[in-house]
Structure 1
Amino acid sequence: MSTARPFALRLFVPSGLPEGMRIVEKTNWSGIGYVIPRSQLKEFTQRDEAARPGVYVLSGPDPEGGADLVYIGEADPLGRRLEQHQAREFWTTAYAFTSKDGYLNKAHAQHLEARLIRLAQAAKRCRLENAVQGRSITLAEMDRAVAEGFRVAVADGFLEELLLCCPVLGLRAFEQATGKPAQANRRLFHLKGPGASGQGFESPGGFTVLRGARARSEFVESTPPAWVQARAQLVSQGVFLQEPTGLTLAQDYEFNSPSQAAMALLARTANGRIEWKDAKGVTLKEHQEQAAAAASAEGEG
């Protein structure tokens, strides 16, 4: 994704219920997105956009524990295909994206599906239910420019704008850790324990641990089973690599919190705000408290 820049989203809840279907539009984007609770799928299928081609993501808790289970697809029309997915039991929310002007066609949707599947596979933030890779088809130059978000030139486009919307809507399957703090003055924190060591930093979605971190192989007996399953899933996805001396983090990876990051490395329950320390031994908790105090003093001034 390109250098971060401010942007605005317009969010509309047609039912008036906070937990209901949400419609998202973004300034200077020809697309439109829907966040559809499973119980409100019928409401979506009655809208004009449901008759158009587009891409969609089904998301729900993974029965095996750990991250969410996700299915990525394309359809023309969107509504009919989503109705067919009522047979899939795992999903609780559908995310659907199409164009407001009808310019997106079936070929573009197929290409976007393939790109999203590859992005999710690279990010490894969820378990993909897709049995196939998606079809990356050959498009004419102009059509490819549309599907890729007009990236042939310098303008932002459909896919890039879609990816900006996803985290705001709670869909984080495509986010990849940057490998460095978003701001140059952000601190690196360190963690050490029996068979474990690593570096990381606070990031917008939680806490990012840098590639090469070492994790203890065996959990202590008191560790909650859910977290044991969650790390096992990270191993199966290739986020952690099993080596003779333990586990090694194969990529920069963003955990939902400092504590989740600490537990993944230490193989036990842990308070990440205390376990993560800077080069001088100052804990993350102390840094957060100092920052809060400084902000409070500035506000009072």
Structure 2
Amino acid sequence: MTTYGKTIRLFLVDGTTNGLTTAELSNWTGIGIKVPRIKIKEYSNRIEFQKPGVYILIGKGENNEDAAYIGEAEVIADRLTQHISNKDFWHEVIFFGSKDKYLNKASVKYLENRLHELAIKAGRYSINQNTPTRSELSEAEQAELEEFLAHIKVLTATLGHKILESLEETLETKVSEQQMFYCRNGAGADSKGSPSTEGFIVYKESLFMINEQPSLPDGIRLERQQMLNDGDLKVDEDFYRLTKDYVFTSPARAAAATLARSASGPLEWKTSEGVQLKHFDL
């Protein structure tokens, strides 16, 4: 399917990144708003806050993991004021409404459910809430809202949070379809991965060496420990097993984490035929 470029207009209402930011797409009736929690009361009389919409509260969970709560409201300002009183984890909110009267109670309930579905599928943030009920809408209404949802997804990432974007969407297409890379050694380490727009993805069930060599950089040693603390790595007999797809910032870090020693990513990652990553224009 052919994709086209998009023009996004960001406006810093008070001239700084610490206040309210609006985000709009050309030829779209919707609008996105990002605002810090401590600034909500200051801006709550703006028209965008007085309309129906969907919102994402952004913060940190109990284990310092990225966490979010997704909701809907007929009047955004009223719901956010409630959450200031009853939810402590969040520090900013992104919400989406319409510049006209397009959104109503049924449509925001539909969008709430779909946003929750996308966030759970992406698995980037902890979403500790029940699945919202989806409104019963006509096929035509759903098609229109799916287009609205696609714009929300783009603007949420533009505003700094890829909560709705799965790791698969960051892959280089020609690699994901035709090539997979492996990092292995004679001791049994066995990782599978792919380059992505965020660095290098190592896939769930990959096996990492446990015993760390002196050459392993301290930064990667700490990252492995954090992965253990977060449950991303689990001891499985003589290895660490990766419990989820995980993004490293580079192939070198991914290889070093797998082999528990200093490693060159372009040399260690190879196709099933043994062709090294360095031979690909990635």
Whether TM exceeds 0.5 here: the answer is yes
Does the 8 A contact of 1:242 with 1:248 survive in 2?
yes
Offset from partner CA, 1:241-265 (integer Å, 9 cap, x none):
88667565576x3515136645764
How much is the aligned-residue C-alpha RMSD, in angstroms? 3.5
Q: Which moved more, 1:255-264 or 1:195-204?
A: 255-264
- Structure 2 counterpart of 1:205: 198
In the TM superposition, what is the alpha-carbon distance from 1:97 to its structure 2 partner? 0.8
Contact 1:219/1:228 (<8 A) preserved: no
Provide closer, same or farther for how the CA distance between residues 227 and 90 of structure 1 changes in structure 2, counting only shifts above 3 A.
farther
Shift of the 189–26 alpha-carbon distance from structure 1 to 2, 3 Å rule, reads: same
| Equivalent residue letter for 2:120 | Q
Return the TM-score normalized by structure 1: 0.73
**For 2:160, what is the secondary structure of its paired residue?**
coil
* 1:24-39 alignment runs, 5 A limit: 24-39=23-38
Which consecutive residues of structure 1, in runs of 5 or more, have no partner in the other structure? 150-156, 292-301
CA contact (8 A) 2:170 2:198 kept: no
Contact 2:228 2:234 in 1 (8 A): no
Determine the structure 1 residue equivalent to 2:45.
46
Distance 1:146 1:27, change over 3 A: same
1:184 maps to a residue whose letter is: K
Aligned counterpart, 2:158:
168
Change (3 A) 1:10 1:86: same
**Aligned partner (choices 225, 228, 233) of residue 228 of structure 1:** 225
Offset, 1:90: 1.5
Counterpart AA for 1:100 = K
SS at match of 2:90: coil
Alignment of 1:9-88 (within 5 A): 9-65=8-64, 67-87=65-85, 88=87
Q: Is the 8 A contact 1:231 1:264 kept in 2?
A: no
Contact (CA 8 Å) 1:198, 1:214: kept in 2 or not?
yes
The CA distance in 2 between the partners of 1:96 and 1:180, in whole Å, is 24
For 1:260 and 1:59, the matched residues in 2 are separated by: 28
**Among candidates 130, 134, 137, match of residue 136 of structure 1:** 134
Residue 167 of structure 2 aligns to a residue whose secondary structure is coil
Return the alpha-carbon distance in structure 1 between the equivalents of residues 119 and 69 of structure 2.
10
Aligned-residue identity in percent: 28
Aligned partners of 1:4 and 1:254: how far apart in 2?
27
Deviation of 1:189 (Å): 4.2
Aligned with 2:38: secondary structure? helix
Specify the SS of the correspondent of 1:50: helix
Q: Is contact 2:170–2:197 with CA below 8 Å preserved after alignment?
A: no
Structure 1 CA distance, aligned partners of 2:3 and 2:118? 18
What is the CA distance between 1:214 and its match in structure 2? 2.8
Show CA shifts across 1:209-256 (max 9, x none).
24553345x5859843x7534455455xxxx788667565576x3515
| In 1: Cα distance, 2:277 partner to 2:29 partner | 45
1:57 and 1:265, CA in 2 relative to 1: closer, same or farther beyond 3 A?
farther
1:114 corresponds to = 113
The 3-state SS of whatever aligns with 2:32 is strand
Aligned residues: 269
* TM-score, length-scaled by structure 2: 0.78
Partner of 1:297: none
CA distance in 2, matches of 1:271, 1:43: 51
- Is the Cα contact below 8 Å between 2:207 and 2:241 reproduced in 1? yes
The residue number in structure 1 matching 2:167 is 177
